[in-house]
Structure 1
């Protein structure tokens, strides 16, 4: 059997044996390229990372994924399992390695890797341990994909988005935290359950921290443009006789409840990350509640990353929506920012 030297998609020369059957089947008229222009890297092949990968592949957000983790066997297993489903997807190309070289040329780098909180461990200790993890990850991603948009999902997500920005030396608009995109989705779902209307027809945002100090923007919640605060001026407050504020309390408890029942959260955050990736890759200019640089917004003076509704496109965050907030909502947001700034002061870079 004869052989010939050819150049592969990575620009490297290799010998390839001539295959008579293939020659009879098709005639090559130009060299094939693996560059789809929509490559997404996911760092961390745990439950969240794989839920994001599965969502992106099955929803047609991308068909080119690079998976990176420190667990080589699990990486290989996840890649094989997904590739066996290729016939059900859009010609997916999936790479998996412990070597960050496979991430080269990524349009988006999604980071889900991190350590879990230990029993009795303080929030600051967890932040420092995950900061140390990101010290190894971010420089490698920047090295191979210097123009990528970075989407951070590791927790505590707002602080680790700030950490990524500091470590990577990236422009602010190219570092995005998954933030309260999921909190807002939970909020809309619970509103829909109470109103008997589809979640997609319930409009409202949770802003601030992805966590206990998140801020529900009751003043902007609306159905078909009808603001609920115009119908019930006490909505979401302690004086509200209809107890709408319980919806936000349930949003805050949601993750704890899911973790208690199944051990982790995965599907909803995976779908959330897929939505953000689609907005960036499609240059959608759609609005999402994500963690972004907030200094100068709503009177915040600290360099913190918290969620506000943002316009996402090829550039990352192109605009931050300036919602009209009530005094109470503004005060809660500033309190959330102060909490983040206090934790950030103890981080060792």
Structure 2
């Protein structure tokens, strides 16, 4: 993916709201990537944020960027503001269990960002990300394209990793996506999954290997349960999601029109005003769904169920 030139880097600011594990790891990944000259870390616990910045500044010695503690006014002129603040998912807890606490937080945080950075792009990472992307859109008053949730970008990465292991190929050569909710109702788009330009069944035939549906379904199951497995063992996820957040920020900063599965408010499966993930084109103006995804009939039905599950939470929240 193209990198910004040195002249442009000098003007690029990215703010991160939330100095927890995901926020700090994202700041570190941004430092190493060289994507921004000014990285601002905002947190209610300024002392903790300062400690993180002091530590990050030692890594910044090897990068061309400044990392600093800031407040919401420091979001001004940021190319993007990443929201990672919120209560963490606990072992045994679903993402949707988090909604009420983190929704209240967003009602406080988002207006402050919008006040000081009315032209920025909001990138939401806090879970449940689809519900909170919807909240950020309505609270901020921003255009649809400028409120983006990390959505199933992480799930798509995990899915390609699982399929790559199964077929014995590099995950970068597996073209397969997860759409819908970043959560339990997510769906793998089997009808469009390819390796070497061939649908999986055709690839297996050409490679003289068995097309094992149950094994493939197990790949999808491991993808869906990956976060729960990690949280059960270490109490959080941070490295994978931080790398995905940087991959979302890259086309925004470089205006490179990359296509990623990110969450955006829209109408899905006939369900209006919900946020969930579909392939979107990302550039400096935000996220755009230029081309409809050609899903099979069963996948369309599954997408509708995913949209309905999110809509139910939104309805309960608004009630």
State TM-score, norm by structure 2: 0.91
Residue 315 in 1 paired to residue 315 in 2?
A: no
1:243 Cα deviation from its structure 2 partner: 2.6
Residue 223 of structure 1 is matched in structure 2 by: 195
2:29 touches 2:243 (CA, 8 Å); kept in 1? yes
Residue 208 of structure 2 is matched in structure 1 by: none
The 5-angstrom pairing of residues 1-349 of structure 1 reads: 36-90=10-64, 92-97=65-70, 99-116=71-88, 126-230=98-202, 242-295=214-267, 297=268, 299-348=269-318
Closer, same or farther: CA 55–240 of 1 in aligned 2, 3 Å: same
1:95 touches 1:102 (CA, 8 Å); kept in 2? no
Closer, same or farther: CA 211–138 of 1 in aligned 2, 3 Å: same
1:241 Cα deviation from its structure 2 partner: 5.0
Higher relative contact order (CA 8 A, sep 6+): 2
1:76 touches 1:96 (CA, 8 Å); kept in 2? yes
2:148 touches 2:262 (CA, 8 Å); kept in 1? yes
2:80 touches 2:122 (CA, 8 Å); kept in 1? yes
Closer, same or farther: CA 115–324 of 1 in aligned 2, 3 Å: same
1:117 Cα deviation from its structure 2 partner: 5.0
2:90 touches 2:231 (CA, 8 Å); kept in 1? no
1:40 touches 1:108 (CA, 8 Å); kept in 2? yes
Structure 2, unpaired ranges of 5+: 1-6, 206-210
In 2, the alpha carbon distance for the partners of 1:278 and 1:231 equals: 32
Q: Deviations over 1:260-306 (max 9, x none)?
A: 111110000000000000110000101000001231x4x42321010
In 2, the alpha carbon distance for the partners of 1:158 and 1:123 equals: 10
2:281 touches 2:289 (CA, 8 Å); kept in 1? yes
1:279 touches 1:312 (CA, 8 Å); kept in 2? yes
Please identify the structure whose Cα radius of gyration is greater. 1
1:240 Cα deviation from its structure 2 partner: 5.3
Closer, same or farther: CA 328–39 of 1 in aligned 2, 3 Å: same
More helix by share: 2
1:37 touches 1:107 (CA, 8 Å); kept in 2? no
1:221 touches 1:229 (CA, 8 Å); kept in 2? no
Superposed CA RMSD in Å reads: 2.3
Closer, same or farther: CA 284–200 of 1 in aligned 2, 3 Å: same
In 1, the alpha carbon distance for the partners of 2:165 and 2:32 equals: 27
In 2, the alpha carbon distance for the partners of 1:230 and 1:218 equals: 13
2:151 touches 2:276 (CA, 8 Å); kept in 1? yes
Q: Deviations over 1:74-95 (max 9, x none)?
A: 11111111112222111x1122
Closer, same or farther: CA 339–40 of 1 in aligned 2, 3 Å: same
May I ask how many residue pairs the two structures share in their alignment?
308
Question: Secondary structure, in 3 states, of the residue corresponding to 1:311?
Answer: strand
Q: Deviations over 1:221-270 (max 9, x none)?
A: 1112111144579xxxxx95553111000001100111111111000000
State TM-score, norm by structure 1: 0.83
Closer, same or farther: CA 307–119 of 1 in aligned 2, 3 Å: closer
1:131 Cα deviation from its structure 2 partner: 1.0
